[in-house]
Chain A
């Protein structure tokens, strides 16, 4: 049989199950919440960043620039309106612009947007075909990975679209679409879109716009890549007189996350407060044990135990509590993220299932254990100072 300070510390914690459980749960909540915030912020910014990669400007109808970005880059908001193709082409041909990807949409299939564009759109996000081929003709559809998973559409299937971007009440029953290809999962907005040619979108809506001259052809937006940094300054000037505007995705997203940031900051403050309370609880737990066990500690001294040993014992109790609480916290945050990922996946169809340990979390855990040790060191010092003789004679 082999005793150790760790074993005795473990047993001592086990003797006060309620107190121990309280300390553990408090710390687990604190660490869990902070780590969950870190994880979701990272996933959020990763998701945002992946989608605005190499898109310098977005050209669209005047309105809220943030809405323009959300609608045309992330496809989570309604578009600001339509712009005339001839006007948009002028901008796309501007010498400061390297490339422009036109987008036109207005229909959905079971809540998934049908977006008309060129081959450049899929190429831009590095998406590759999982099977089938690219769209060539009108009414040919290439499915995003999530769309194909969610709707069960197969290559060769035909379906009708619904007017609008969300519901399926107003079905265009005249012309059916046909699936010709399916994209590999890319973790970008493409996963949740059905892609086709721009002319497809025009043809679907011909019934509404009876006589459409090439002059009047409209699209929704253009994603622009700049050739010259000055584009950011000159393009807005060039289109001042039109109904168009350009917005910078990076700036709008920064603004958005800064607004998010206020809420995140509040949550983080609450999480830190919970952690602080839990350290108080660890302190009380170890200190309370100390008071109740003064005699036991003195007893160990009479049996040859050194002062340093008693100090180690109390440190271990605090260390076990803080390490256990932190570990539980990391498990909590992973469970939380997986729940959140399910929610995000259902609502926005982004994949948030990356739950690997972040470096910031390691720092968080190391700090938590350190503070736990400090919280235990304070009663530990009084344990070292215990007057063996007096403690023993007082208890008799």
Chain B
């Protein structure tokens, strides 16, 4: 599903070069990317979904090389194949929760089945908030709405960026269980990027990034 080779990235000419060990994640697997803050976790996540382009090396998702696509193709490819769960779930504040869930379908130009949206929200226990504005939801509810938005279009790959760092132990457990179950139900590969040590032993396939700030 994902394969990176000789990946390096540099933000600007004089900023330090970040190098990433090759990683591989088979389809439908669940994988943890663990690392201290500042070691380039988010950078790697953005590289994996094609929001950033590597200085060197390549990223393959579903066998396709992101570097060989045009930017517009990458946008389309990401929209269709990748769902991203953010640490702080941001939404389009002018739209309702359900309309936010419909955004991926709209942006990819496919039709949105309202019942499917409701079903997913129900699975996540927030169907009663479907017509509320995102800011009227609690943090936990926002997180779940964010998961719904990442999964609604059945992406092959779900990337979760620090989904648990703001949560206590029991909520962490609940969110992870939800993510895992939903990814499984959608036949999606799940990659969790975090510095949260509590998750360390949960996944067999884990990948530890070291702080590269000193080693330029």
Q: Give chain B residues whose Cβ lies under 8 Å from the Cβ of A307.
A: 71-72, 75
A8 touches B86 (CB 8 A): no
> Does B51 lie within 8 Å of A3, measured CB to CB?
no
B78 touches A302 (CB 8 A): yes
**Known interface pairs A1-B114, A388-B51; A304-B76 also in contact (CB < 8 Å):** yes
**Is the CB–CB distance between B95 and A8 below 8 Å?**
yes
Tell whether A331 is near chain B: CB-to-CB under 8 Å: no
- Bound Cα distance from A296 to B90, whole angstroms: 7
B75 touches A304 (CB 8 A): yes
Q: Of the candidates A4, A8, A305, which one forms a contact with B79 in the assembled complex, judged by CB atoms under 8 Å apart?
A: A305
**How long is the Cα–Cα vector from A303 to B99 in the complex, in angstroms?**
14
Q: Which residues of A contact B84 (CB under 8 A)?
A: 302
Q: Does A111 contact B (CB under 8 A)?
A: no
Select B92's contact among A296, A388, A393, beta carbons within 8 Å: A296
Give chain B residues whose Cβ lies under 8 Å from the Cβ of A389: 43, 46, 51-52
* Contact A300-B114, Cβ < 8 Å, known A389-B46, A396-B42: no
Residues B88 and A396 in contact, CB atoms below 8 Å apart: yes
Complexed CA–CA distance, A396 and B106 (Å): 25
On chain B, the residues within 8 Å of A296 by CB distance are 90-93
Whether the Cβ atoms of A393 and B42 lie closer than 8 Å is yes
B25 to chain A: which residues have CB within 8 Å?
none
Interface segment out of the listed A10-18, A35-43, A129-137, A246-254: A10-18
Beta-carbon contacts under 8 Å, B101-159 to A: 102-108, 111-112, 114, 117, 149
**A1-B112, A303-B79, A304-B78 known; A392+B51 contact, CB < 8 A:** yes
In contact, B95 and A11 (Cβ under 8 angstroms) = yes
Contact between B94 and A301, CB atoms less than 8 A apart: no
Q: In the bound complex, do residue A300 and residue B86 qualify as a contact, i.e. CB atoms below 8 Å apart?
A: no
Within 8 Å of chain B (Cβ to Cβ): is A299?
Answer: yes
Question: When the two chains form their complex, are residues B75 and A3 in contact, meaning their CB atoms are under 8 A apart?
Answer: no
The smallest beta-carbon distance between B133 and chain A, in angstroms, is 9
Contact B103 A300 (CB under 8 A): yes
User: Using a CB-CB cutoff of 8 Å, which residues 20-74 of chain B contact chain A?
Assistant: 42-43, 46, 49, 51-52, 71-72
- Look across to chain A and name the residue whose beta carbon is closest to the beta carbon of B95: A11
Q: Are A304 and B99 in contact (CB under 8 A)?
A: no
Residues of A within 8 A of B99 (CB): 1, 3
Chain A residue nearest to B106 in the complex (CB):
A3
Q: Which of A1, A8, A396 contacts B98 (CB 8 A)?
A: A1
Cα distance, A1 to B92, chains bound together (Å): 17
Q: Cβ of A306 < 8 Å from any Cβ of B?
A: yes
CB of B93 within 8 A of CB of A392, answer no
A residues 1-37 in Cβ contact with B at 8 Å = 1-4, 8, 11-12, 14-15
B104 touches A303 (CB 8 A): yes
Q: How far is the CA of A8 from the CA of B102 in the complex (A)?
A: 12
Q: In the complex, which of the residues A293, A304, A388 has the most CB atoms of chain B within 10 Å of its own CB atom?
A: A304
Residues of B within 8 A of A211 (CB): none
Q: Is B3 an interface residue (CB 8 A)?
A: no
Contact of A396 among B43, B52, B87, B149 (CB under 8 A): B87
- B42 in contact with A3 (CB, 8 Å): no
- Residues on A with beta carbons closer than 8 Å to the beta carbon of B51: 301-302, 388-389, 392
The smallest beta-carbon distance between A21 and chain B, in angstroms, is 16
Cβ-based interface call for B200 (8 A): no
- The answer to whether B94 touches A14, judged by C-beta atoms less than 8 angstroms apart, is yes
B contact residues around A392 at 8 Å (CB): 42, 46, 51, 86
B108 x A304 contact (CB < 8 A):
yes
The answer to whether A1 and B102 have CB atoms under 8 Å apart is yes
Give the docked Cα–Cα distance between A4 and B105 (Å).
Answer: 11
Task: Give B152's nearest chain A residue, CB to CB.
Answer: A303
A4 CA to B49 CA, complexed, in Å: 25
A388 and B76 CA atoms in complex are apart in Å by 14
User: Is the Cβ of A304 less than 8 Å from the Cβ of B112?
Assistant: no
B88 touches A2 (CB 8 A): no
The minimal Cβ–Cβ distance linking B90 to chain A, given in whole angstroms, is: 5
Confirm or deny: A395 has a beta carbon within 8 angstroms of a beta carbon on chain B. yes
Q: What 0/1 readout, one digit per residue, does chain A (253-266) give for beta carbons within 8 Å of chain B? A: 00000000000000
**B107 near A303: Cβ-Cβ < 8 Å:** yes
Bound-state CA distance A2–B46 (Å) is 29
Binary CB contact string for chain A from 357 to 396 against chain B (1 if under 8 A, 0 otherwise): 0000000000000000000000000000000110011011
A-B contacts, 27 of them at CB < 8 A, read A1-B112, A2-B111, A3-B102, A3-B103, A3-B106, A8-B94, A11-B94, A12-B94, A15-B93, A299-B90, A299-B92, A300-B92, A300-B103, A302-B78, A302-B82, A303-B104, A303-B149, A304-B75, A304-B78, A309-B107, A389-B51, A392-B86, A393-B42, A393-B43, A395-B88, A396-B87, A396-B161
Q: Name B's A-contacting residues (CB within 8 A).
A: 42-43, 46, 49, 51-52, 71-72, 75-76, 78-80, 82, 84, 86-88, 90-95, 98-99, 102-108, 111-112, 114, 117, 149, 161-162
The 10 closest A-B pairs by CB, nearest first: A304-B79, A11-B94, A3-B106, A15-B94, A305-B107, A389-B46, A389-B51, A304-B107, A303-B104, A12-B94
- Since A303-B103, A305-B75, A306-B75 are in contact, a sample of 5 more A-B pairs with Cβ atoms closer than 8 Å, ordered by chain A residue number, is A2-B106, A11-B94, A299-B91, A389-B43, A396-B88
